[in-house]
Amino acid sequence: MRSSRGRVWLAFGLVVVFLLAQVAWWLIFQRNTIQQNIEYAETAWLQEAALVQQLWAATAPEKRAALLSELRQAFPHLEVEGDRVYVNPERLKAYRTEQMRHLRMFAYEGPFFLLVMLLGLYIIGRSLKSEQELKRRQQNFLMAASHEFRTPISTLRLLAQTLQMCELSREKQLAYLTHMSHEIDRLEDLSERLLATSRLAQGMGAIKPERHDLNQAVSRCLAQQQNTLVARGAVLHLEPSSTALPVDLDPEAFSLVLSNLLDNAVKYSPAPQKPVWVRLRREGGQAMLEVEDRGVGLSRGELQQIFEPFYRVGDEQTRSTRGLGLGLYLVKSITELMGGRVWAEPLPQGSRFVLSFPLAEAQGLAPERSLA
Ligand code: ADP
């Protein structure tokens, strides 16, 4: 894969070098040809003038008037003054100017042609690159998806076989069953994400906005998820806003958004202590919600890409964190459907995800929006 990419870029490089050389050679060739044309015209006109001079001298004076009109037609660039025949300097200058105009035209056309070709190559290069990136992401997704499904399924099989074959105490059985139910939750969560993504891709489903105080919506979600997050090492710090933040939200969709952000904050933070801050505040006409962690962080170049479907930072073969690269895509799509915005900010240590929703004080209830 890498070597074929290298070959493509080598081919591109060669085409660019060839184009540059071709245009440079073409310009030099045109300049030489035009200079030769000018020199040739000057010599030829001087020779014609010498010949016509001889003819003029050999013609009887009474026949010169007729000869003169013929000469004017045949050699418009020659002048006759008394007995002298010479090349009209104005004509010569006009010819030179005309030729130089052609040269200038080529001098503009050449680089323009080069520019158009390079632009075309750049566009082709970019689309090739994004195609390669899509291929890479698809491969990553397939690898991640098979891993994500295989792990809980193998665990479930193992636990079920143990329960079938071994005589276990009631407590052990309950512990195994709880473990199995966690694995089933994990599978359910995975299929939910895949379903939500395909619904988004196909434009199905609907967001039903209702007026909520963002402080309360966040508290409710946190209360639901707190135990699971704390069990994974999260230390949650909730900093609500001092005033109410009325916004139009679909509570279920919002819960999916916040749970994805919290899940990532914990997932991408090193053990054992994983502090996560959830802050709310009012900024102009917007209600702002921040989820901040002290985890592995993000580079500036990744801030946009992480919201694209199936994008995961790094290489799937060496990655240790689970995931399909769909969480942030869902976060962004759903937030925008609710009229909000989301972006990521890198921190010296960790990262911050910011959601902003228009405050609903001054406006009516938002209309129902489709997941399209
Ligand atoms: P997933 O977590 O399933 O890979 P996401 O769409 O949720 O997919 O995230 C996309 C990528 O963005 C992740 O693979 C990860 O590299 C990066 N990322 C997301 N959240 C964080 C975070 N809080 N800190 C560092 N990197 C993150």
- The CA distance from 312 to 210, in Å, is 33
Kindly state if the Cβ of 313 falls inside 6 Å of ligand 1: yes
Residue 131 corresponds to which tokens in the numbers above? 């195609």
Question: For residue 171, how many C-alpha atoms fall within 13 Å in the half-sphere facing its CB?
Answer: 0
Q: What is the pLDDT of residues 61-80, one digit of tens each?
A: 889 889 999 998 999 999 99
- The CA distance from 173 to 185, in Å, is 18
Predicted confidence at residue 155, as pLDDT, reads 95
Where is pLDDT greater, at 324 or 246? Answer: 246
Mean of the pLDDT values across residues 180-205?
Answer: 82
Kindly state if the Cβ of 294 falls inside 6 Å of ligand 1: no
| Ramachandran area for residue 323 (φ above 0: left; ψ -120 to 50: alpha; else beta) | left
Kindly state if the Cβ of 358 falls inside 6 Å of ligand 1: no
Q: What is the CA(141)–ligand 1 centre distance, in A?
A: 13
Question: For residue 178, how many C-alpha atoms fall within 13 Å in the half-sphere facing its CB?
Answer: 6
Which ligand 1 atom sits nearest the alpha carbon of residue 314? 16
Class of residue 350 by CB neighbours under 10 A (exposed 0-12, middle 13-18, buried 19+): buried
Nearest to 261 by CA among 328, 192, 335: 328
Residue 43: how many other CB atoms lie within 10 Å: 10
Where is pLDDT greater, at 236 or 135? Answer: 236
Kindly state if the Cβ of 309 falls inside 6 Å of ligand 1: no
- One-letter identity of residue 35: Q
Pick the residue whose CA is nearest to atom 20 on ligand 1. Answer: 264
Kindly state if the Cβ of 85 falls inside 6 Å of ligand 1: no
> Is residue 250 within 8 Å of 207, Cβ to Cβ?
yes
Nearest to 287 by CA among 351, 239, 244: 244
Q: What is the CA(88)–ligand 1 centre distance, in A?
A: 80
- The CA distance from 107 to 69, in Å, is 40
- How confident is residue 230, by pLDDT bands cut at 50, 70 and 90? very high
Residue 130: how many other CB atoms lie within 10 Å: 10
Pick the residue whose CA is nearest to atom 21 on ligand 1. Answer: 264
> Is residue 15 within 8 Å of 121, Cβ to Cβ?
yes
Predicted confidence at residue 11, as pLDDT, reads 85
Long-range contacts from 169-176, C-beta under 8 angstroms, 24+ separation: none
Nearest to 44 by CA among 16, 12, 77: 77
- The CA distance from 236 to 250, in Å, is 24
Kindly state if the Cβ of 303 falls inside 6 Å of ligand 1: no
SS3 of 87-99: ECHHHHHHHHHHH
User: Does the pLDDT at position 287 exceed 50?
Assistant: yes
Q: What is the CA(184)–ligand 1 centre distance, in A?
A: 23
The pTM (predicted TM-score) of the whole model is: 0.67
Kindly state if the Cβ of 209 falls inside 6 Å of ligand 1: no
Q: What is the pLDDT of residues 85-111, one digit of tens each?
A: 999 999 999 999 999 998 899 889 888
- The CA distance from 95 to 101, in Å, is 10
Kindly state if the Cβ of 324 falls inside 6 Å of ligand 1: yes
- How confident is residue 3, by pLDDT bands cut at 50, 70 and 90? low
Q: What is the CA(264)–ligand 1 centre distance, in A?
A: 6
Pick the residue whose CA is nearest to atom 8 on ligand 1. Answer: 325
The answer to whether the bond into 272 is cis (omega within 30° of 0) is yes
Residue 331: how many other CB atoms lie within 10 Å: 23
Residue 357: how many other CB atoms lie within 10 Å: 25
Kindly state if the Cβ of 327 falls inside 6 Å of ligand 1: yes
- The CA distance from 54 to 46, in Å, is 13
- The CA distance from 341 to 154, in Å, is 39
**Residue 177: strand, helix, or coil:** helix
Mean of the pLDDT values across residues 246-253?
Answer: 91
Q: What is the CA(351)–ligand 1 centre distance, in A?
A: 10
Kindly state if the Cβ of 80 falls inside 6 Å of ligand 1: no
- The CA distance from 286 to 50, in Å, is 90
Which ligand 1 atom sits nearest the alpha carbon of residue 311? 10
Predicted confidence at residue 205, as pLDDT, reads 62
Q: What is the CA(322)–ligand 1 centre distance, in A?
A: 10
